[in-house]
Amino acid sequence: MTGNVPVVTLLTAPGEPEPPGLASLHEQTELRLADDEPSLRKALPGSEILLVTDFRTEAFARAWPCAKQLRWVHATSAGVDAVLFPEMAQSEVVVTNARGIFDRAIAEYVLGVIWAFAKDTRRNIELQNEKTWQHRDTERVLDKQLLVVGAGSIGRQIAKLCGAIGMQVHGIARSARDSDPDFIAVHANEALHAQLQQADYVVVAAPLTPQTQGLFGAAEFDAMQPHARFINIGRGPIVQTEALVDALQNKTIAGAGLDVFEEEPLPPEHPLWSMRNVLMSAHMAGDFIGWREALSQQFLDNLARWKAGQPLQNIVDKGHGYVPSQ
């Protein structure tokens, strides 16, 4: 690419403004803008690079026949399931993602949810609003067992942070690792049910792939301990929502902290809204102040590597749907 001006298409969600921090992109590329299927079909012919900020997009799959010159797709998200439709996955187009940007913020979110459950924060707020003084004993997190399902970069940050406060952290990954600097042990996928039986807290930090879609259903919640809490900061479709609701209503598990859902936004009539053993947020666990600018800089850094003929960072293994651990 040295000496040439690359053609870049930026695909945003409908009505979404251009991300901050991309001013230099106008100067060093031929930049085309799209926010739906018709505009993307118009922009893709001749484009070598596609920058995707809409992690829910279906427009790319529908406009794929127009992407004849495409060589690189960058997703400004950790999950890349929206851009890994079969034709794309089988192509020679390189995919990169936002690995590393959200890891620490998500780990802090998980730790906050764990402490909120342990210290009964929801009830504290309710009692404060009622102006009621009610003493209770609360839990400690020291030596509690945490199972992180998905031992990639986000899972590793969760393990580091929670391990630092004395939790006993195990992981689940495609293959087992007996020796790991951040986990007591990393177990293979086949050991999921056995590890669920031991955990006080279970955190889903896995990407959405054909292998993880619907991974947590009735059998998995039945395998958990009645006092255990379930936290999902991965992707909503990894969890079968009806099975989770049943487990919470029947007290099969003690509670859930949810940042992602099968259907987003969560409908106002959904029973999860009114459950006192549920803590929820609006798919924002990793969104710290300044995250948009950080994503833009990450892409610009990779673009500089592209133009210099250097290897790209954060290349996704399209067969597995994530960036392999280093």
Task: Decide if pLDDT at 240 tops 80.
Answer: yes
Q: Which of 87, 126, 264, 293 is catalytic?
A: 264
Task: Tell me if 40 sits within 8 A of 14, measured CB to CB.
Answer: no
Rounded mean pLDDT, 41-48: 98
Q: Does domain 7-101+289-307 have CATH number 3.40.50.720?
A: yes
pTM of the model: 0.94
Annotate the chain with three-state secondary structure: CCCCCCEEEEECCCCCCCCCCCHHHHHHCEEEEECCHHHHHHHCCCCCEEEECCCCCCHHHHHHHHCCCCCEEEECCCCCHHHCCHHHHCCCCEEECCCCCCHHHHHHHHHHHHHHHHCCHHHHHHHHHHCCCCCCCCCCCCCCEEEEECCCHHHHHHHHHHHHCCCEEEEEECCCECCCCCCCEEEEHHHHHHHHCCCCEEEECCCCCCCCCCCECHHHHHHCCCCCEEEECCCHHHECHHHHHHHHHCCCCCEEEECCCCCCCCCCCCHHHHCCCEEECCCCCCCCCCHHHHHHHHHHHHHHHHHCCCCCCCECECCCCECCCC
Mean pLDDT of the chain: 96
Task: Tell me if 22 sits within 8 A of 62, measured CB to CB.
Answer: no
Listed by start position, the domains of the chain span: 7-101+289-307, 103-280
CATH code of the region 103-280: 3.40.50.720
Specify whether 220 is catalytic: no
The span from the CA of 254 to the CA of 46, in Å, is 54
**According to the model, what pLDDT value does residue 84 have?**
96
Q: Which of 326, 282, 320 is nearest to 206 (CA)?
A: 320
Rounded mean pLDDT, 207-226: 97
Specify whether 283 is catalytic: yes
Q: How confident is the model at residue 325 (pLDDT cuts 50, 70, 90)?
A: confident
Q: How confident is the model at residue 2 (pLDDT cuts 50, 70, 90)?
A: very low
**According to the model, what pLDDT value does residue 45 have?**
98
pLDDT digits (tens, 9 = 90+) for 151-194: 999 999 999 999 999 999 999 999 998 889 999 999 999 999 99
Task: Decide if pLDDT at 85 tops 60.
Answer: yes
Q: How confident is the model at residue 1 (pLDDT cuts 50, 70, 90)?
A: very low
The span from the CA of 290 to the CA of 299, in Å, is 15
CATH fold match for the domains 7-101+289-307 and 103-280: yes
The span from the CA of 166 to the CA of 292, in Å, is 33
Q: Which of 32, 99, 229, 235 is catalytic?
A: 235
- In the chain, the percentage of residues whose pLDDT exceeds 90 is 97
196 HSE (CA, 13 A, CB side): 23
**According to the model, what pLDDT value does residue 178 have?**
82
Task: Decide if pLDDT at 326 tops 70.
Answer: no
Specify whether 264 is catalytic: yes
